[in-house]
Amino acid sequence: VMGFVSAVAFMFRGSMAAQLIRQEVNDHGEAQTQSPPFPILQGRPEALVQLAKFEFDYDFVGVGHCTGNTKVYHTHAWALAPSSGGNKGFETAEYKKWREEAYKKCLQKDPQTEYVSMWIDAGFRCYKGGRCTLRSTTNNDKWARTWKPKPKPKPKVCQCSGGAAATGAACTSNGANICNSCSTGHHKSGTSCKGNACTCNGGAAATGAACTSNGANICNSCSTGHH
């Protein structure tokens, strides 16, 4: 019977009757009023604005939502998407997009936000204040997963004078001069590109792109008496 009631309650979420219920008890299990609209980054440090532009990795904390922590923000169901789209599984692209959006919205509220609990119905809560103790006792709790966000490390950027800079794993140190390939007129020397040096018997040696192979006898012009 309880399973049947839970199933009916699940289908009931998002309906007009559920909207009336939410006037007193929100659909994520707490008797409280709705939080104010998402704040805007007005008067906030520029660093916070930049933080909100980051992409994040998310460490899985567990099933359910935090208890005992300071709640930064909470919403009802369908805060980030219309109910017509239905619930989304934890591994779906839609759910992961909601999670990212939820965390960035909470950062706007409080840059000390540490955890985001994301429901499959596009509702969420965010918390701060140390270790998260999870609650996952009800069916509603189990529709949520809690995550600890961390900024993705920015990729290293290399440079290369005389060629194309290394990227990805080949760029082992940010700002280093590490070349992946060399332009015409240059040759690889260690991780760098150096200009080719040509020779010329009876004339002026080719330079730059005209010197296509380091150490080659390539003339740019000939001296009087040579051709």
Q: Would the CA dihedral through 218, 220, 224, 225 be positive or negative?
A: positive
pLDDT the model gives residue 219: 92
pLDDT the model gives residue 136: 87
Q: Quick one: pLDDT band at residue 24, thresholds 50, 70, 90? A: very low
pLDDT the model gives residue 3: 40
pLDDT the model gives residue 26: 41
CA distances from 6 to 18, 86, 138, 142 (A): 14, 17, 10, 12
> Tell me: the pLDDT tens digits for 80-93?
999 999 999 999 99
> Tell me: the pLDDT tens digits for 116-145?
999 999 999 999 988 899 998 888 889 999
Across the range 73-80, mean pLDDT stands at 94
Whether the predicted pLDDT of 13 surpasses 60: no
Centre a 10 Å sphere on the Cβ of residue 69 and count the other Cβ atoms it contains. 18
What whole-number distance in Å separates Cα of residue 111 and Cα of residue 104?
9
pLDDT the model gives residue 53: 57
Q: Which of 20-29, 179-188, 218-227 has the weakest average pLDDT?
A: 20-29
What whole-number distance in Å separates Cα of residue 160 and Cα of residue 175?
10
> Tell me: the pLDDT tens digits for 166-216?
998 899 998 999 999 999 999 999 999 999 999 999 889 888 889 989 989
Question: Exposed/middle/buried for 18, CB within 10 Å: 0-12, 13-18, 19+?
Answer: middle
pLDDT the model gives residue 44: 46
Whether the predicted pLDDT of 156 surpasses 90: no
> Tell me: the pLDDT tens digits for 26-68?
445 443 333 333 343 344 444 444 555 567 889 999 999 998 7
What whole-number distance in Å separates Cα of residue 129 and Cα of residue 69?
5
Residue of 152 and 146 predicted with greater confidence: 146
Mean pLDDT of the chain: 79
Please give the share of the chain, as a percent, with pLDDT higher than 70.
Answer: 76
> Tell me: the pLDDT tens digits for 48-57?
445 555 678 8
